[in-house]
Copies of this chain bind each other. A is one copy, B any other.
Amino acid sequence: MYGFDEVALVPSTLTVDPRDVDTTWKLDCLEFKIPVIAAALDAAVNPRVAAEMTRLGGFAVLNLDGIQTRYEDAEGALAEIAGAPSEGIIEFIQKMYTAPVREDLIAKRVREIKDAGGFAAVSAIPANSPRFCAIAAGAGADVFVVNSTVTSLKYYSTRTETVDLTLFVKESPIPVILGNCVGYQACLDLMSTGCAGVLVGVGPGAICTSRRVLGIGVPQVTAIADCAAARDEYFARTGHHCAVIADGGMRSGGDISKAIASGADAVMLGSSIAAASEAPAPGFSWGMATSSADLPRGTRIQTDIAGTLKEILLGPAHRDDGTMNLVGALRLSMASVGALTIPGMQQAELAVAPTLATEGKTLQRAQHVGQGR
């Protein structure tokens, strides 16, 4: 199985003018200019970020199980987490997330996004989805995301509250995205519900927390390629295009380019967005699983503020590590391998070419090749 670090894009016999590259993609009947979605991390998305993501051509997902719906004064609660000492931070975060989710705040946050001119995508864990979706859709939400570490159509439980995903998708008044999944059949199962998109990625990072704590993880290149094959099969069978959204494990424009070349229609970014100066808790990030009461995964990390959301996504970049002007990098990458569109980029050649952590000395070597045509 392959991850981003083990493959590289290979130029073809054609190059194209970057100014002619088109990064548009579709989710159901909706069209977006850039294939980037901000992930439902409390440290990445609040109503303000959601509106800005919309203006930049993508969209953001607001977490309905998080701080925004547990606290009237969400900004204050986020500042508290950002300001808490590192010592004991996990227990502090665990405690902050014991406050109950308030239904009135769900509607309120959706309206805040809409009032700011944003596209309102919101998410919840499966058990909360039927209830939260009704409220959010009523308040004007545009898309609902059902989200857990591993989501499958088939679910065994001796309890009775189990959610029927097929029924949920069918009855939802707004398009639904389901996730996360990784395998061909599991993905095809989710697509069979008629959902608008699937999130692909389970323990994607080579040394990510799910890999360490649970032992579960599928490298993203393989996961995306498998789910893209399921999408193509599902389209062949039904004529319905279900978007494959790569979720997790991407750090740079190069990783995003590889995700799309692996077959993704769009990518979902968390930490890259949390590094924006407009982020809810600038300079800090933590995951949804950090707040788990009995098995926290991931802690609060201090992040470098890379620039504005616009600079991070559209440039210009003032650093050379691939973390700024992500869409500009994708466009130049597409131009260099001769891809004019996202579907064209999905056909680009990827080869196995490990990124060796040898000696850090090769970093500056390849720079004397020119800036493009």
Contacts and interface: CB of A to CB of B under 8 A. Distances in A.
A138 interface: no
Contacts of A356: 3, 5-6, 206-207, 357
Per DSSP, chain A at the interface is loop
7 contacts: A6-B356, A8-B203, A127-B373, A209-B322, A248-B365, A271-B364, A355-B358
A65 B373 CA distance: 12
Interface string A55-94: 0000000000100000000000000000000000011001
| Interface size class of chain A, counting residues whose CB lies under 8 Å from the partner chain | 35 or more
A294 B179 CA distance: 35
Contacts of A288: 367-371
A147 B207 CA distance: 34
Contact of A154 (B15, B261, B301, B325): B15
A289 B3 CA distance: 27
Contacts of A340: 156
B367 A289 contact: yes
- Top 7 A-B residue pairs of the complex, sorted by shortest distance between their CB atoms: A287-B367, A215-B254, A205-B362, A17-B157, A298-B367, A208-B366, A215-B257
A216 interface: yes
B216 A247 contact: no
B254 A373 contact: no
